[in-house]
Amino acid sequence: MIQKKIWLSPPHLESEEEEFVKDALSSNWVAPLGAYIDGFESDLELFLKNDSHVSALSSGTAALHLALVLLGISKGDEVLCQTFTFCASVNPVKYVGATPVFIDSDPINWNLCPNQLEIAIKDRIKKFKKPKAIILVHIYGMPARMNEIVTISKKYDIPIIEDSAEALGSTFKSIPCGTFGKYGIFSFNGNKIITTSSGGALISKTKLEKEKAIFYATQAKDRANHYHHSEIGFNYRMSNILAAIGRAQIIKLKKRLKQRRGNHEFYKKLFKHSKNINIFSEENKLFVSNHWLNCVTIKKGMDFTKNEIIDELAKANIEARQLWKPMHMQPLYCGNLFFGSNVAENIFNNGLCLPSGSNLTKADRHRINKTLKPFI
């Protein structure tokens, strides 16, 4: 008998989502304008605090694109990017005609390595190519080394764009991820910690920047009594129907975070005494991950590979996945500058993600445990 599929990180919906969407439909507010959008933005602002101003958008990728537009980054500019990430963190740099320069990972934290970051900045400044921004990622929900990175950003006066797509609810020193940088972004895609089916948000520090972001997200219509445009805009605003899903989801965010952290405790215990496999976890209490996905790496010298584990889980109808393949290893970006060695590459070669949905049941965990046992 084939058992039900255990997905990596499926959407987690209940009755409120349907109620709110029905309400949006019956009110006839179905376009990218309406009370659910404003409400969803205030919900997020309340959750994040820290003077956050939120613009609800059609995707996390759109939010990154607008952050670059707001910073005035354009053709010929260079942007420093974390190599160990999903392509959506980096492609928007190309949308504005700029060039990504890649930085290796920290071996413990997996995010932007502060040492390589500073080496890269010094090198680019010496060559009269001072980078225009730093795009960092809190990968799989793990907060990046914000102490060091913020210090470097200030020292060289280079703004940070914080890709928090995977890190809603994560904190560093109790400060929410997504609120450290000049701009932060979140994604509400189907697999993220909360979803609007597809959607995203840009976090800025002032109301003015929020309004500017919404201006660009709604085709940059100038104030006039006819259609008047002096700048290029985009169609990036979130729809009121999707914001209705978002408002229903955010009510349960704290519960979802607890469930994801519960999954992490389960995996931590499972791998605690393993001689073969390491679990990716916070190094100390300053870092609080939302544990969007649980990741493991296989220790050196093992006689099995990540692919064997993924295949074995697949046979049991359990979805596990590869880690992000570093951007400097992609055909798309292999000609770009890269500062570092083989840290991100090693993580990619030896790691995988395990099922981590907030709707993972006790029975699911039992099946995962049984299938993983021979490798542990």
Ligand X SMILES: *Cc1c(COP(=O)(O)O)cnc(C)c1O
Interface with ligand X by CB under 6 A: which residues? 59-61, 85-86, 88-89, 137, 163, 165-166, 187, 189, 200
Shortest distance (Å) from residue 179 CB to ligand X = 17
Confirm if 121 and 65 have CB atoms less than 8 A apart. Answer: no
**Judged by CB, which is closer to ligand X: 60, or 100?**
60
Shortest distance (Å) from residue 317 CB to ligand X = 25
**Judged by CB, which is closer to ligand X: 55, or 59?**
59
**Judged by CB, which is closer to ligand X: 124, or 145?**
145
In angstroms, rounded to a whole number, what is the distance separating the alpha carbons of residues 213 and 200?
A: 13
Shortest distance (Å) from residue 331 CB to ligand X = 20
Shortest distance (Å) from residue 90 CB to ligand X = 9
**Judged by CB, which is closer to ligand X: 152, or 353?**
353
**Judged by CB, which is closer to ligand X: 36, or 186?**
186
Task: Please give the helix or strand (H or E) that residue 51 lies within, else none.
Answer: none
Shortest distance (Å) from residue 60 CB to ligand X = 3
Shortest distance (Å) from residue 135 CB to ligand X = 9
**Judged by CB, which is closer to ligand X: 166, or 371?**
166
Q: Token pair of 98, please?
A: 């700029």
In angstroms, rounded to a whole number, what is the distance separating the alpha carbons of residues 98 and 91?
A: 10
Shortest distance (Å) from residue 369 CB to ligand X = 27
Reduced to 3 states (helix: H, G, I; strand: E, B; else coil), residue 75 is: coil
**Judged by CB, which is closer to ligand X: 294, or 371?**
294
Quick one: the chain helix, strand, coil %, rounded to 5? 40, 15, 45
Measured CA to CA in angstroms, residue 362 lies from 38, 123, 173, 262 at distances of 37, 51, 32, 11
State the angle between helix axes of 362-372 and 306-315 in degrees (0 to 180), rounded to the nearest 10: 130
Tell me whether residue 94 is exposed, middle or buried, using C-beta atoms within 10 angstroms of its C-beta: 0 to 12, 13 to 18, 19 or more. middle
Q: Which residue number is nearest to ligand X in terms of Cβ?
A: 60
**Judged by CB, which is closer to ligand X: 39, or 141?**
141
With tokens 């439909």, the residue in question is 25
In angstroms, rounded to a whole number, what is the distance separating the alpha carbons of residues 51 and 180?
A: 11
Confirm if 186 and 164 have CB atoms less than 8 A apart. Answer: yes
Shortest distance (Å) from residue 65 CB to ligand X = 9
**Judged by CB, which is closer to ligand X: 85, or 170?**
85
The residues, any chain, with a CB within 8 Å of residue 314's CB and separated by 6 or more, are 320
Q: What is the 3-state secondary structure (H, E, C) of 94-140?
A: HHCCCEEEEECECCCCCCECHHHHHHHHHHHHHCCCCCCEEEEECHH
51-67 burial: b if 16+ Cβ within 10 Å, else e: ebbbbbbbbbbbbbbbb
Torsion, Cα of 287, 251, 249, 191 (10° steps): 20
Shortest distance (Å) from residue 86 CB to ligand X = 4
